[in-house]
Structure formats: C-alpha cells, structure tokens
Amino acid sequence: MSAADEAPVVIVGAGHGGGTLVGTLRQLGYEGPVVLIGSEPDAPYHRPPLSKKFHADELEDPLRPLEFYEEQGITLRLSEDVVAIDPEARTVRLGDDTELAYSTLVLATGAEPRRLPVPGGDLDGVVVLRTLADARVLKDAVHPDKRLVIVGAGYVGLEVAAVARSVGQQVTVLEREDRVLARVASPELSEILTGHHVAQGTEVLTSADVTGFAGDDDGHVRAVVLGDGREIPCDLALVGVGAIPRDELASAAGLTCDGGIVVDAATRTSDPHVLAIGDVTRRPVGNVEELVRMESIPSAMEQAKQAAHVIVGKDVPAADVPWFWSDQFDLKLKMAGLLRPGHAAVVRGDPTTGRFTVFHLDGDVIAAVESANAPKEFMAGKKYIRTRQRVDVTRLADEAVGLKDVVA
Amino acid sequence: MPSVTYVLPDGSEQTIEVKSGLSVMDGSVANNLPGIEAECGGSCSCATCHVYVEGEWAAHYGKASEEEWELLEFLDTVQENSRLSCQLVVTDAEDGLKVTVPEEQG
C-alpha cells in the first residue's frame, strides 16, 4: 500500500450528499479514516425546512445527532474551505494553506444561488436562500407588516411565498418567463399552482423583467424595479433565480466539467481518484441521452450511496427514477421522472379539489408524474416509470379506475 | 429509555435505545443502521423508511393513516404489517418493540 492509499477519504461539502456518504461508508464496513469538510459553521442539516418551514422551530434540523460523527469516527471540519486540488499528489489545500492527502476525494460542493447582475443587487435586504444562515435572516424578516418580493418563481421562491403568505405577509412573486416554474414544471402544473397562489392572496407577475433594486438613504432596498419602469415596493427582496454548480475546484484541477462536474452512473469523474456527488454533478439519468444536472436530495443521496460502494469496491446499486417534492400551502407536491418536450399531458383528478396528478406520456408509457396530495398516484406513477409499464390513457385519466387497473 | 430491536436487511439484529418521543426512523438514523434511507427526513413524503412491525406490535400501533398507506401500497415489498417508520413514535409503552427492515426501499 502506498501512503496515499492509507490517507483518508476526503469529502468536500457537508450537505445532504456529503452527510449521507459518511454514514453509508461506515454501514458498508469501511474502517479507514474519513474527513468531511464543510464551509458552513453548521454540521450537516436538513435543507428542505429552509424554504418550507423557515418560520417555525423545525427550521434547524441536523441530519444526524452531533455525537454521531465522533461515534462513527468521522473527522468533521466545519467553517473550512478547500481552495485547490492537486490530483497528481492526491492532496487538497485548505484555506489556512495546510495540505491534506486523500486516498479518494469526493467533491460534494453543491451549487450556489445565482445573483442578478443588476444595479442595487448588493443593497441591504436583497437576499438569497441556500444556507441555514440565509434562512435565519428570512425567519427574522418575516412579519405581517413587511412586504416581501420574490424574484424568480422556481420551487424555492414559491415555497417561501407560501410560508410568508400563510403568516399574513404581503407577497409579490416576479417571474421573467411567461409562467411560474417555467424550467422545472409542465405548463399544466404551472397554471394550476399559479391559480392556487393567487387564490391565497399572493400577487404573481409573469414576464416581469427585473432591471434593478432601488434603495433608501440607509442603503436598504425599498423597491424592485422592472424593465417597464414600474417599481414594486418591498422591505425584503428574495432572489431565487436558480443555482450555479460549484465546480471551480474541479475545473481548476483539470477534471472534465460542463456546467457541473461530469460523472458516470457510479459518480466517477475523469480522475480515477476523484468522485463527485450531488447538485454539482452532471449525471446520467434513466434512458435520457444527455447528462442532466439534478438539484434534489434523492439524487444526492443516491449518488452518495453509489460513491460509498465504489470506495469499498462493491457493486454499485442501480439508479432509481429521479424524484423530488415541494410543499406549498396545503399542497404536498411530489414529482418523478423527467419532463421532456413532446410528451402528452393527462390530468387525473380535479385540481380544484386540491388532489390531482399530471401524468406525462411518451406514447402509452408514463415518462413523468407531477402530483399534488396524491401519494398513491405518485407511487404508482414512479413504479410504472421504472418498469416502463404500458398504460391505457383513458383509464388513467379516470379517477374512478383503480391505479392497478390502468395497465394496458 | 425504551429499547427497539431492528432486524436488518442482512438478517442480523440490533437492539438500541431510542429516546422517548423520537421515531423508529430517528433511532435508525442516529445509530447509522443500514436499510432505512429516510430521504425526506421524516415528513411522510417518501417511502424510504419502510419497516414491518413484528408480532403484537403491529396491532399496538394500529393502521397507517390514509396518506401513509398510499405511499406504501405500490411498493413491491408491501405487507399487511408495513409501516413508515417516521410515523412510529417510540415511548416507554413501546419498550421491546421489534421491526424488520426490508431489503429494498422506495
């Protein structure tokens, strides 16, 4: 064994991916040293409450109890940054200029919120949401007397809008595209959700081009400025316009990147001693030809499991159908599969009842499912996507027909 | 503290103490037991903390809620005593509980 083989598995990034990987390594019997490095001061925590429950006590929810890391012999290094990788020497350099050797390096650096390159973007009160620290700011700012403007109608933006509205806050959502969730949901779901938010008193403006933020004399945001000159007054502006993969380290080290670190179905990068997992990766998914950058916890956890198997030299488990969830007001949304142009949408259930599902069909095979308060439809849909089960479209659309009886 | 026995996917058994008020899922996650994945963190949003509740304990806990059963019923591994372990709260009244973790989750 060379010195490098006895070096620790080093994981850069202590989010859901990194946090899951350390546990799985031990479950699979890996007994060597493991170092988990995170740039945030908090030990790995659940991220969904940041946008779904930031007003509540459940906001702070660690992935594992703190004593877990000591019990499992995991060296947790928080508030530390890795600034460079030397793939030849198999070392990483930390912010304090020390070096750390690795046997295997796992990059789980995630993504960072995209900022708007417009005037006023650095005013006080123009915020983003990614970390627990960001969510604490949001929690302190949510108040019925304060006006919140959310720039970007993605899932994070709409979840925050729902929470803020539910505590009586005045909320405006601005979206550049002509519908909410334009990148990530079907037009059918966009329309239904828009109706739901508007019915709850949220103002939703689409095709709204944000050109700047106007501040008061104290340097605090007072309005969001639109391309047509309109000003939307606010006390806080949350910018939620997507995330950029944090692949700079990998790219500087010569690893193949393409808007994210390119990995295979076992999380391998172009360097034999470096794996990558989570939001930072561009990965194969299902039978889709191009690589996909997923931004979801199930994807990060699945890749963490794959990476752990690679490290201990066991067969890598097969990938499951991608899925994610979102909570907005009383709607528990669950999505599975991948939306692609050319699919036919079939709605099952009456959206006005709050329980409905949009199935997306490739011929008579389900390719994707978007469900609200319909766990059975979601689970059946996910299963049928996985097994490429042929279905009878007419029966699928009829809520009176049981989901076991929709198979063709 | 109440003790809970987990029959793991490889057939081995582990008995651990779970703090009263936590769930069967929490106990597994805190002790890094294999099998239970808990992707959604315990919000009854996925089905990756599936267990079989053994013996009399199944009746003790009673039936799953409608939402929980909908998540379970399309799993290949579902049985009558299937539950999502995030929904099973452990107190002193559950001391001695036994659950089996199926090989496949989700």
Residue B63's pLDDT band, with cuts at 50, 70 and 90, is: very high
Q: Does B17 touch chain A (CB under 8 A)?
A: no
- Residue B63 DSSP SS3: coil
Q: How far is CA A149 from its chain centroid?
A: 21
> Which of A30, A69, A302, A378 to probe by mutation at the B interface, max B CB count within 10 Å?
A378
Q: Side chain identity at A194, as an amino acid letter?
A: T
Enumerate residues 6+ apart whose C-beta is below 8 A from A331: A193, A196, A354, A372, A373
Residue A324 falls within a domain, yes or no? no
State which residues of chain A have pLDDT below 70: 1-5
CB of A322 less than 8 A from some CB of B: no
- A400 occurs within a structural domain: yes
Inter-chain CB proximity A380 and B74 less than 8 Å: yes
Shortest CA gap B41–chain A (Å): 7
Alpha-carbon distance values, A108 to A18, A248, A335 (Å): 6, 12, 24
Whether A293 and A336 map to the same domain: the answer is no
- A228 and A256 both lie in a single domain: no
- Identify the residue whose tokens are 């002193």: B92
To the nearest whole Å, the CA of A76 is away from the closest chain B CA by 16
Do A47 and A105 lie in one domain? The reply is yes
A379–B73 CB contact, under 8 Å: yes
Count CB neighbours of A318 within 10 A.
Answer: 9
How many domains, in total, are found in chain A?
A: 3
Q: What counts of helices (H) and strands (E) characterise chain A? A: 11, 25
Same domain, A393 and A344: yes
Is A79 part of a structural domain of the chain?
A: yes
Regarding whether A383 and A280 lie in a shared domain, the answer is no
What was the pLDDT predicted at B106?
73
Mean pLDDT across B66-75: 96
| ipTM of predicted complex | 0.96
B55–chain A nearest CA distance, Å: 27
A65 CB neighbours in chain B (<8 A) are: 30
Same domain, A365 and A292: no
Same-domain pairing of A147 and A102: no
Q: Is residue A340 part of a domain?
A: yes
With respect to residue A323, please indicate whether it lies within any of the assigned structural domains.
Answer: no
Q: Are residues A81 and A146 in the same domain?
A: no
Range of the domain at A391: 330-405
> Is residue A303 in a domain?
yes
Point out which residues pair with A210 in neighbouring strands. Answer: A226
Report all structural domains of chain B as residue ranges with CATH numbers, in order of start.
3-100 (3.10.20.30)
Q: Is residue A318 part of a domain?
A: no
